[in-house]
Structure 1
């Protein structure tokens, strides 16, 4: 095929992404794009370790963080490509790398293209089939209607990101179908192949989603079923271990903080299933939205899934209910607020845990590609967490608090290219 490379003019014209077009019998293009996002953060009562009696120790903290760890968007760069095969069909691919702007290191546990890596076929009439590492539909159909994507970023994440609305949950070895848009309605399904000899279901992931958007009304729903979630959902990065390792989190030590105390005690679940629903209504400069999710860790105590130091049995359900509001004062200035209530069912003889969270976000667009922003969140915890300890606050995936409350603030800048 005869091809000619056109000059990249996207950056000069102020358009996010730089597209290279190739011409010949069929037309194809490759787009280079990315985000650089960093902020100065403050968090109260941040854990510094665990005492000999197992009680968390903590202190206030001021630090610089990439957007993924306390801002609006994680820093990334990627390539997207499309080749016209004729008759409305295109070959498509995406390779997307996540990195920390603080030190340039790879994110996603050191994966080179840890955010996305897929290839497939797209047809105008029949939809799209993709293969590779991809997002599931809780992120794509429900998360986009939550405060996480709308204005609050990391600080809008439900406590511990138990429902995956923060876009860090991906599926490896995935086959995914997405329908065309039928007058605002679209749907899809995803299957992550477990790849275990002798078992078709072990470590596999199955999901589906549907969404509808028309005349200011947007709704989305998703379902996810993950077998051995300690491996299939939480153990997908190169840094993860096997079934003897808790890939969800840890109990901490005298010199290391706890991680994910809200759910790390549930690593031995045989399955994890989740239902998520969201809706938003936009009229003029106002937008209101609601989100409900229910995440269940089932059949705790499965030796083939992960460690179970508390010898938990049965199932546990974690529910979230969020209401959010966004107002655009001008095309460049927006302010949003959200309230989330999360509650966990009884497990292991405990009364479960409850979390209340308020999130705020202010954004000022300096241009179409550059924003400055300020975020704030407050959270209060009560009850008993997954580690059998008094629940401590944890805003998003920040280091958890040493107490039952936590405040987090950040001021940052994000640039898209």
Structure 2
């Protein structure tokens, strides 16, 4: 009888061990980033404000993994973004606006993800910019129009990342419009996104190249498409200034609508001992643009907007816990409608220091100064309100904690 009981106990223990091994692992994680930001000119006045997520977007999330055996895994992420200064939800009020996806990963086969995700440009190129590494949003490229700052996510996205081939990986993405073919201006291509990037990592060098195209982003005729609500469609103040210049009267323009956005980038970072030097070049072209309520008739029809950005950044790690960085960025734009065009451009310099008090907690300070040149170059540091002139300065001090 005792032997039978022991056998049953052993069998039950083995069964429980198998069930435990097959259980899904759920990890709760998050990050809180809160600070104070001073701006020299916002709509004509200086400002001091409490800000959230200047270095890293404040968030909490759940990460799910399950080992399926044979080198295969199920994985998923639900990630919420919020303002740590007020508690308000970000990403247009979505519950899981930063990321929401599920997928499969297999050893030697790569990873397939479906759901709301970042573009490959942000994941492979954005994390080589000064802004995402240590420079805060003060140093994100103008209005994040080149997508490298990661402020725009894509719904309905299917994403494949390859295995690592000797330091080389690639990532492909297609985000569905979720719309059937229809009349002009609608249909399968109405508010969709596609693109990809390739990256090499080895011998202290990281090199990335990528391209993304968005057709009719944030289209009001398709609110179930790839880009809804969090696309950078707010009219840059310098475009309103272009309208004022061309019409001779104060502009009442409201929104810049793009028919197609095409963005390409090349980014690199080389690390040697305590020093890292990086360079990022991007080109973004908006075609078939329309400015709503434009005073100048030449902006009411189709037009094009090209934005070229070049960044150089330098980082010094004084100790394992202390990083100091500097960056210089040149941004040149060309807005053209028919025979009319204007070409404002901007220079931006920035410096920052990030000091880790522990593995999970750090303090940072960052400063940036932007100056515009040409007739219509109104300054606007990304995620700040625009200046009333061609210059704007900003300083952020913050505390960040991961859990």
Give yes or no for contact 1:109–1:237 (8 Å, CA) kept in 2.
no
Coordinate RMSD, CA, aligned: 2.8
1:411 paired residue among 390, 397, 400: 397
Q: 2: CA distance between counterparts of 1:338 and 1:150?
A: 11
SS at match of 2:61: strand
Report 1:267-286 matches (<5 A).
Answer: 267-286=256-275
The structure 2 residue matched to 1:336, chosen from 325, 333, 340, is 325
The equivalent of 1:118 in structure 2 is 101
- Tell me, what secondary structure is at the counterpart of 1:350? strand
Post-superposition CA distance 1:235-272 (Å, at most 9, x none): 967757xxxxx971148xxxxxx699699988332211
Q: Does 1:215 align with 2:200?
A: no
Corresponding residue of 1:249: 234
Q: Is the 8 A contact 2:365 2:396 kept in 1?
A: yes
Encode CA deviations 1:35-55: one digit per residue, 9 max, x unaligned: 0001111001111xxxxxxxx
- Residue 311 of structure 2, aligned match among 317, 322, 347: 322
**Uncovered stretches (5+) of structure 2, i.e. residues with no partner:** 1-11, 182-186, 243-252
Equivalent residue, structure 2, for 1:374: 365
**Match of 1:156?**
139
Question: Hey, what does 1:35 align to over in structure 2?
Answer: 31
The answer to whether the Cα contact below 8 Å between 2:176 and 2:226 also exists between their aligned partners in 1 is no
- Deviates most, 264-273 or 327-336: 264-273
How big is each residue's C-alpha offset from its partner over 1:187-215, in whole Å with a ceiling of 9 and x where there is no partner?
01100100122122121100101001001
The 1:23–1:378 alpha-carbon spacing in structure 2 relative to 1, beyond 3 Å, is farther
Q: Please say if residues 230 and 267 of structure 1, whose CA atoms lie closer than 8 Å, have aligned partners that are also in contact.
A: no
* Range 259-268 or range 311-320, more displaced: 259-268
Stretches of structure 1 that go unaligned for 5 or more consecutive residues are: 4-20, 48-57, 241-245, 252-257, 385-389
Distance in 2 between the 1:23 and 1:31 partners? 19
> What is the 5 A alignment of 1:149-188?
149-188=132-171
Whose helix proportion is higher, 1 or 2? 2
Query: Over alpha carbons, which structure has the higher Rg?
Result: 2
Are 1:353 and 2:344 counterparts? yes
Shift of 1:396: 1.4
- Show CA shifts across 1:96-132 (max 9, x none): 0000011111011100000000011111111111110
SS across alignment from 1:109: coil
SS at match of 2:166: coil
**Partner in structure 1 of residue 177 of structure 2:** 194
Q: CA deviation at 1:345?
A: 1.9
Calculate the TM-score normalised by the size of structure 1.
0.82
Alignment correspondent of 2:280: 291
When structure 1 is superposed on structure 2, of 28-37 and 277-286 the one drifting more is 28-37
Contact 1:110 1:239 in 2 (8 A): no
Among residues 19, 44, 49, which one is paired with 1:63 in the alignment?
A: 49
State the distance in 2 between where 1:275 and 1:391 align.
Answer: 23
Please give the alpha-carbon distance, in whole angstroms, between the structure 2 residues aligned to 1:238 and 1:313.
22
Question: Any conservation in 2 of the 1:22–1:29 contact (CA below 8 Å)?
Answer: no
Following superposition, the deviation at residue 158 of structure 1 comes to: 1.0
- CA distance in 2 between partners of 1:128 and 1:377 (Å): 38
CA–CA separation in structure 2 for the residues paired with 1:262 and 1:285:
44
SS in structure 1 opposite 2:341? coil
- 1:133 equivalenced with 2:116 (yes/no): yes
* Separation (CA, whole Å) in 2 of partners of 1:266 and 1:210: 34
Cα deviation for residue 26 of structure 1 reads 2.0
Question: Cα–Cα, structure 1 residues 212 and 371, in superposed 2: closer, same or farther, change >3 Å?
Answer: same
What is the number of residues matched between the two proteins? 367
Q: SS of 2:319's equivalent?
A: coil
Q: Shift of residue 414 of structure 1?
A: 0.3
Q: Residues 79-90 of structure 1 correspond to what in structure 2 (within 5 A)? A: 79-90=62-73
User: What SS class does the counterpart of residue 347 from structure 2 fall into?
Assistant: strand
Is the 1:36–1:76 contact (alpha carbons within 8 Å) kept by the matching residues of 2? yes
Asked if 1:401 corresponds to 2:387, the answer is yes
Give the TM-score normalised by structure 2: 0.85
Distance change (3 Å), C-alpha of 1:321 and 1:238: closer
CA contact (8 A) 1:279 1:290 kept: yes
Query: 1:22–1:185: structure 2 CA closer, same or farther, 3 Å change rule?
Result: farther
